[in-house]
Structure formats: C-alpha cells, structure tokens
Amino acid sequence: MTNRASNFSFLESEQPQLFRLGALAERYFPEDPNTCIVKLRQFGEMLARVIAARWAMHRDPDEPQASLIHRLREEGRLDPRVVQLFQMLRIEGNRAAHEAEGDHRTALDLLKMARELAIWFERSFSRPDLKPGAFIPPKAPESVSEITKEELERLRHEIEAQRSQAEKAKLKAEEEAHARLGAETRARQDAEDRAFFEQFAREAEADKIRLAQELANLQAQAAIDSSENAQRWQQAAAQASESIHLDEAATRVLIDQQLRAAGWEVDSTGLRFSQGARPQKGRNLAIAEWPTASGPADYVLFAGLQALAVVEAKRKHKNVASVLSQAERYCRDIQPSPEIQVLGSWEKAKVPFAFSTNGRPYLAQLAELSGIWFRDLRRPQNLSRALQGWYTPEGLLGLLKQDPDEAHAQLKTESFE
C-alpha cells in the first residue's frame, strides 16, 4: 500500500490491520508521543485477539486485554517473555489514554517492543525464518530530551552500519534531491504525506469493523486445524520467544515498570543522579546512574535517605547471575555523603543488598539468564538466589531489621531454589 519505510512492513501483506496501526504509531511519534503509545496499545489488543483466534480461543470480543492475555498464558499459548511485552503495551497504553502520560522516550521503547511482538508472531505462525533487519528509528521530534536524542542517534548509526553501499548511495541521492526542491514543492509533498496518513487512519478505524468477521473466520478455521498443525505452531512460538531481543534502553523500561509495581518511584530516564535526583525523606526512590568509586550503578534503591540496595540492569541476553558481582562491587564503592545514609559496613559493603536483572521473567530452564538475582551482603557466606519478585520498600526494610542468619533462612523459602 505504501513504500514508506516502516518497522512493521513485513505485516502488510498478511496482516494489513496490524500494519496500519504500527505504521500510524510511528507517524505520530514525532509530534504526539501520547497518541503513538495509545496506537501501540491498540496494536497489542488487536494482535492478542488474532492470536487467540488462531488457537480457537477468541470467545468474547469485549473480553478485557488483561483477561485475554492471562487466559492465553494459562493455556500455554504465550510464554512469560511474550506476556511481558503485551503487558507493557497495555499498562503504558492505559496510562497514556487515561492519565495523558507518555513521552518520546517511552514511545520509542514501546515501538521496539511492539515490533518484537510482531516479529515473534510472524515467526510463530507464518515465517519462522523471518529476518526483518535492524529497527528503523522514527522521525526525530523537533524538541526532545538529550537522552532520547542520543538513543535515536545510536539507532541511526546501528541501521546505517547494516546498509549496503548501494542502499547508502540511493538514500544519499534521495536526500540531495529533496534538498534541491523548492519550498513550494516541499510543502506540496508534506501535504500529500499528511493526506496519505489521514486516509491511513480512516482505514485503521474501518479495520475495527472488518476485524470481527476476520476473527470469526480465523476461529472457525482453527477449530478444524489438525493437532499436528497446532503442535508445529507451539514449537515455532517457543523458538521465536528465544529470539526476542530488546536493547539496553528498552530493557530499562521493563525494569522500571517492575520496580514501580513493587512500590518504588522510578524513571530511569528522568530520575537520574546527573539530572539532580537525590533521596528524600518519606519517599522510596530508585535513582538511576548513581556514581560510585568504580563507575555508576544502574539504580540505587533508597528508603528515605537510607541506601538499601544496588541494582545492576543488563539487557535480556546477558547472564543475570554473573553480573550480580558488579552490583556487589558498587555496594562497596558507593561514596558516603551528606545526601545519603549508608547503613554500615559488611565485608566492606556500605549497602546491604545487591540485585541483578535483565527484566526477563524467571524461567527454570534459563535460570541464570532470567529473573531477579539477589544477595544479602551482611554475611559473607550468603549465597546469591533467584527471587520470585522484587522486594517492596517495606519488604527490604523488614529484611534489614532481621538478624542476617534469620533473614537468609527466610530467603530460602522465598526464592526459586
């Protein structure tokens, strides 16, 4: 339908409705990140319904997204990594729709997540060998934070490195030709571009009406599909889940959401030491990029002025258990100051608790590559363990008040080991 570059172009031939929603989200990104995020929520809702129909599990068109995702997971159709991405689109989309929340950085990272879901879907049900190429950074906004500007520039360098010499020459020629155009011609092209996407938006709205019949057709076909076909899809979906890739920035968004759900105030792009964030009495803050003698800690968790824990966050494909030692080092190397209260010294550690994570849900078969790893540093013989979830601020304070031996014994019952 269009030759405009999109991260969702591989959906166009077989899933035009999903393609339109993804492309519209990209189009809104520069000027209206809030609407971009709302469109991505709609993308996630539509994709989940298509998946349910493929498995003959689409029962009620008005079923809430959270309920549908839960049902698909309980039936073994979605693994925790896929569920996590769906939940991020839903949660941030609800914030955008109901609380007018949503900035460019969040929108950019959600675009990456939506694309990973789309790739997973295609590899699961249609094209196991799909190679979509690098993420295409959307058009840059006129006004954007320095952090988002740096991320967009990094993405441009990444995709530029993957282009062939012929592709680079073609793009350069197009840019030079566009620069030679007169103001009137450029204005006409901009008007044509706006008209194109206005029509695109109308088609996306009409998709809602067509979708009900298409889902019914998918549901009917799935009901008669052989068990062999279903087994093939299940295996392809599991393999596609292994290939889900999120970069460091998008991984931080996942971790932010997990910490927020546990009761911490967190925003790894805005609540940073370099931007003036400091612990405050009466607030439970996860402050990003806190300086130490051996480098910045990804997060330090503060209850009031008390530094309770250091979190080391790595992208999804990193070994989580192995980087816990880095968090432990930062616990030793944090610098006392009038701004914070360090609670003591345990084997030279000034902060009692260390965490490492890559944002990925815990999977027993990938134990050291997933979950939240934790170590209580108040006792040198304490072992690191994978936890079932993040400690709340109250939970960490309660652990701190316990005798180290008693706390370690209790931890054994709260971990996966």
Tokens for 39, please give them: 């469109």
Domain of 363, CATH number, reads 3.90.1570.30
If one counts the domains in the chain, the total is 2
- Please tell me whether residues 144 and 172 are part of one structural domain: yes
CA–CA separation, 267 vs 299, rounded Å? 10
Do residue 225 and residue 329 come from a single domain?
no
Flag whether 364 is in a domain: yes
Are the C-beta atoms of residues 315 and 301 closer than 8 Å to each other? Answer: no
Q: Say whether both 238 and 262 belong to one domain.
A: no
Identify the domain boundary among 194, 221, 242.
Answer: 242
Both 238 and 254 in one domain: the answer is no
Close Cβ partners of 251 (under 8 Å, ≥ 6 residues apart): 313, 314, 315, 316, 358, 359
CA–CA–CA angle 331, 335, 337 (5° rounding): 130
121 lies in some domain: yes
pLDDT at residue number 263: 97
CA distances from 88 to 22, 64, 200, 240, 356 (A): 16, 15, 25, 19, 20
Last residue of a domain, one of 201, 223, 242: 242
Same structural domain, 197 and 264: no
Nearest 5°: CA angle at 7, between 182 and 268? 100
Establish if 4 belongs to a structural domain. Answer: no
Per-residue tens of pLDDT for the chain, all 417 residues: 444 689 999 999 999 889 989 999 999 999 899 999 999 999 999 999 999 998 888 888 889 999 999 999 999 899 888 999 999 999 999 988 888 777 899 999 999 999 999 999 999 999 999 998 889 988 888 777 777 888 888 888 877 777 666 665 655 665 566 555 556 565 665 565 666 656 666 766 666 667 777 888 888 777 776 566 777 888 898 889 888 888 888 989 899 999 999 999 999 988 999 999 999 999 999 999 999 999 999 999 999 999 999 999 987 656 788 889 999 999 999 988 888 887 777 778 899 999 999 888 767 666 666 789 999 999 888 888 888 889 999 999 999 988 766 666 665 555 554
Residue 194: count other Cβ atoms within 10 Å of its Cβ: 11
Q: Give residue 301's identity as a one-letter amino acid code.
A: L
Domain final residue, candidates 176, 211, 242? 242
**pLDDT reported for residue 177:** 63
The model scores a pTM over 0.85: no
Tell me whether residue 190 is exposed, middle or buried, using C-beta atoms within 10 angstroms of its C-beta: 0 to 12, 13 to 18, 19 or more: exposed
Burial profile 52-79: b = 16 or more Cβ within 10 angstroms, e = fewer:
bbbbbbbeeeeeebeebbebbeeeebbb
Establish if 1 belongs to a structural domain.
no
In a domain, 155, yes or no: yes
The answer to whether residues 95 and 112 belong to one domain is yes
Distance CA 240, CA 234 (A): 10
- Contact present, 123 and 50 (Cβ < 8 Å): no
Residues 96, 213, single domain; the answer is: yes
Same domain, 221 and 258: no
Task: Find the domain containing 167 and state its range.
Answer: 9-242
pLDDT of residue 215: 81
